[in-house]
Amino acid sequence: MRAGKPSNADPKRDRSAGQENMSTPYYLLLGLCCGAASVYFTRMLSRTEDGIHKIKKPFVVFLDGPGPHFVNDYNLFGIKIEYDKNIFEKKIPILGICYGLQLIAKIFGGKIKSSKKKREFGRAILYKKNASLLTKNFLNNKTSVWMSHEDVVVKLPKKFKLVASTKESKLTIIENTKNKIYGVQFHPEVTHTINGKQIFINFLFKICKIKTRWNVLSQKSRLIKEVKQRVKKDKVICALSGGVDSSVVALLINQAIKKNLICIMVDTGLMRKNEFKYTYKIFKEKYKLNVKLIDSSKIFLNKLKNISDPEKKRKIIGNLFIKIFERYAKKIKNVKFLAQGTLYPDLIESKSVTGSQTSKIKSHHNVGGLPKRMKLKLVEPLKFLFKDEVRKLGLELNLNKEIISRHPFPGPGLAIRMPGVITNEKIKILKEADYYFIQALRDHGLYHKIWQAYAALLPVKTVGVMGDNRTYEYLCLLRAITSEDGMTADFYEFKKSFMQIISNKIVNSIRGINRVVYDITSKPPSTIELE
C-alpha cells in the first residue's frame, strides 16, 4: 500500500522520498507521463510504523501488494501481511492496482477466487460496461491492457459499481465514487496497456485535483549535487561499458567531480563485437574523460570454464569485476567509490527495495552479486530512474545520440545469452550472429523501433544439410522486444521477408549455426534475457 501527500519541498523530496519504498514504477508515470511528482509516497504494507497515521494530511493512496499473491494469504514467506484500515476512514482518494483491487474488494464485502487454470498474463481486451471519470479518454468501447494475476474478483463489493470487464475478469474496474475508491485489475503503469497513463492522469488531476511541480530537467542538477555531497574530495572509479546507463553515469559524475573521476573499461571477453574500440574513442577523444582499458578476458573465461548454472555465472562475473576494480583502486590515492549504472528495474528484479516479497529475477554484478567484503563504496546515481528517464538525462548531458539510443545490454554481457557452458567457440559464434542481427535492424530502419534486440546461442545442436553434407550445429535464437521501462515487454512483429533475410545471413555467414528461431514470448511470463 502506498500513501501520499502534496509536497512543497524541493524536487528531490517530491520524487525520491518514497522511491525506496515502491514496488511498481508509479513515480515514472507520475513524473514523466503526468508531471505530478508533488505526490509523496510512504510504505504502509508490513511496516505499519510508517503508516498513514504518521502523515498529518494524506492526499492520495495507491494500493498494490506483494506480487501476484492471494489476498487471503496473510503469511507469505513467513512474513505477516498487514494493512492500515485507517486509510479507508479518512476519505482519501484511493486507487488499487491488481492486488490492490482484490484487497479493496475483500475489505468491502466482495469475493476473490483463486484460480490456477484461468490465469491472465500479458495482453487482454478490456470492455466498457459503464462510464467513469477514471476511464475518460482511456476506454471507449474496448482497449488492450496488460495483466499479471492468477486470482480474480468474482463478487462486487458493497456500494461499488462495475466499470469494465475482460473475458476472464468480469470485475476488472470497479469504483465507489462517493468515497473516491477505485480499483483496476490490470497494470496501467506499464507501456503495454494502451494509453495506461491516462488512468493516472484522470485519477491524479480529475479525481485528486493534484497540481504539477516536477519535470525531468530538474534531475540533472539534483543528481550532480547528490554526487558532490556523497563523494566530496574523494576519487571515483566508474565501470564504463559503453551502454547508455554507464555512459550517462560517467558524464554525470564527471560534471560533479571532474578530474577525480577515473573511468575503467574492463574487457571481459563477453561484450558485443567492436564495443570497446568505439566506446574508448568516443569518451577519450570527444568527452576528454580519463579512461583506462583493462583486458581481463582470459581471467573471466577461465573462471567461467565449465560453469553452466546462471546464478553462478552472474556472481562469478560480479565478484571478478569488484576484484579488478579494487586492485586498480589500490594504485590510486583516495579512491573510495565505485560508480555503476544501476537502474530501478535492476533493483526491483534483483532484490526487494520495498521490503515486499518480490521474487529475485536478476543477480548480476550491478545489483545482487556484490561481495559483502567489498571495500569500495557504491555510487549509483541512476538507481531510481528508468531507461527512458536515463535517455532524457543523457540528452541533457549532451551524450552522443547513438549511445543514447543504443539498446540495453546486461551487466554479465553475452554470458547470459548462451545458456550452458561458455566456450571461446560459442563466444565467437554469438558475437557474429548478434552483429549481423543488429546491423540488419539498422539497414532496414528497424533499430529505433525496437527497445532491445539480441541474438542468443542455445545449448542445443540440431541436424541440418548444407550442399551434400549433413551438419550438426548450434541453434541461434533471436529476440526483439518493445518496451518503455523493461518491466514489461512484448515481441516485435517482423515481416516474414525480414526474418528470411536475417536467417539466411546468419546461417550462410557463420560456421556453427544451422538453424534460427524467433522468440515471441512476452514479459511476463517470460523475462527479456534468457538467464
Question: Is 98 annotated as catalytic?
Answer: yes
∠ CA 101-206-137, rounded to 5° = 80
Distance of alpha carbon 206 from alpha carbon 432, whole angstroms = 53
Among residues 69, 149, 187, 192, the one annotated as catalytic is: 187
Burial 358-373 (b: 16+ CB within 10 A, else e): beebbbbbbbbbbeee
Among residues 33, 34, 69, 98, the one annotated as catalytic is: 98
Among residues 33, 69, 149, 189, the one annotated as catalytic is: 189
Residues 6 or more apart whose CB falls under 8 angstroms from that of 165 comprise 126, 127, 129, 171, 172, 173
Q: Which of 109, 22, 9 is nearest to 344 (CA)?
A: 22
Question: Is 189 annotated as catalytic?
Answer: yes
| Spatial contact of 152 and 449, defined as CB atoms under 8 Å apart | no
Question: Is 89 annotated as catalytic?
Answer: no
Local structure of 335: helix, strand or coil = strand
Distance of alpha carbon 438 from alpha carbon 223, whole angstroms = 33
Distance of alpha carbon 153 from alpha carbon 420, whole angstroms = 42
Q: Which of 477, 500, 479 is nearest to 490 (CA)?
A: 479
Quote the distance between the C-alpha of residue 107 and its chain's center. Answer: 32
Q: Which of 386, 8, 388, 397 is nearest to 221 (CA)?
A: 397
| Spatial contact of 393 and 291, defined as CB atoms under 8 Å apart | no
Residues carrying an active site annotation: 98, 187, 189
